[in-house]
Chains A and B, each alone.
Chain A
Amino acid sequence: MPDASDQIFRSLADPTRRALFERLCRDGEQTVGALTAGAGVSQPAVSKHLAVLKQAGLVRDRQAGRQTHYRAEFSALAPLADWTCEMTRFWDRRFDALEDLLGRMDQ
């Protein structure tokens, strides 16, 4: 069953899409035209990549006049960094402290 993280990883596996997402993260909201200028691919191709990113929840668009503006949706990355990473780090350090205590209990 595909979940949100699968979709995020799949959409970022493509280097062009990843570059677009990184640019939006770095430089903030931009028009499709501005994104195309630095992408090295045609505007229809950029629009297609943006649609995939949008479907994964990684970008959001906003219509302003005849221009579509895109921005990165940082909160979409939250499922990738949930409590399990932090908790593993936490317990690993507690094991260190426990081992240290056990050594001192010997004396």
Chain B
Amino acid sequence: MTADTPEIRTVAVERDLPFAPEKIWRALTQPHLIEEWLMKTDFRPSVGEAFTFTAQWGAVEGKVLAIEPERSISYSWNAMGLESVVTWTLTPTAGGTRLRMEQTGFRPGQDQAYHGAAAGWPRFFDGLERVLAGLD
């Protein structure tokens, strides 16, 4: 059985946006802007800085791991037993920027996956949806 062996999984979302990298960079790294599309945060774009994304239902703890201004930024994303790393990459294109988000993490062990799947994750996402629906 491989069920209790942690397994690395990756989620990637990529989109071509009609905006300059400089502008997207600001939305990704300035707290008052991050708050508008993601969550409330005390984020500071500086390697080694710890930060929290917060909402009514809980929090995501993170730490800035690497920065290349207007090109890429990566930070840890720890929530609900999921330890992962989120990396944003900005590539200039003719019409603007190709923005890619990659999240890599360990699949929790089976017990944790059951608890996570049964209780944590749906609650996590329901909470997010509720909060974000209010924002949108």
Contacts and interface: CB of A to CB of B under 8 A. Distances in A.
Contacts of A84: 9-11
B57 to A, nearest CB: 13
Interface in B81-136: 82, 99, 101, 103, 105, 107-108, 110, 113-114, 116-117, 121, 125, 128, 132, 135-136
Contacts of B36: 97, 101
A102 B37 CA distance: 10
Contacts of A88: 11, 13
Given A83-B82, A92-B13, A101 B27 contact: yes
Interface residues of B, number: 38
Contacts of A13: none
A83 B116 contact: yes
Contacts of A87: 11, 103
A1 to B, nearest CB: 7
A80 B124 CA distance: 19
A102 B11 contact: no
Interface residues of A, number: 28
Contacts of B132: 93, 97
Contacts of A79: 3, 110, 113
Interface string B10-27: 110101010100011011
B98 to A, nearest CB: 12
B2 interface: yes
Interface in B44-93: 82
B17 A102 contact: yes
20 contacts: A1-B2, A75-B114, A78-B113, A78-B114, A78-B117, A79-B3, A83-B105, A84-B9, A87-B103, A88-B13, A91-B13, A93-B132, A94-B37, A97-B37, A97-B38, A98-B37, A101-B27, A102-B24, A105-B23, A105-B26
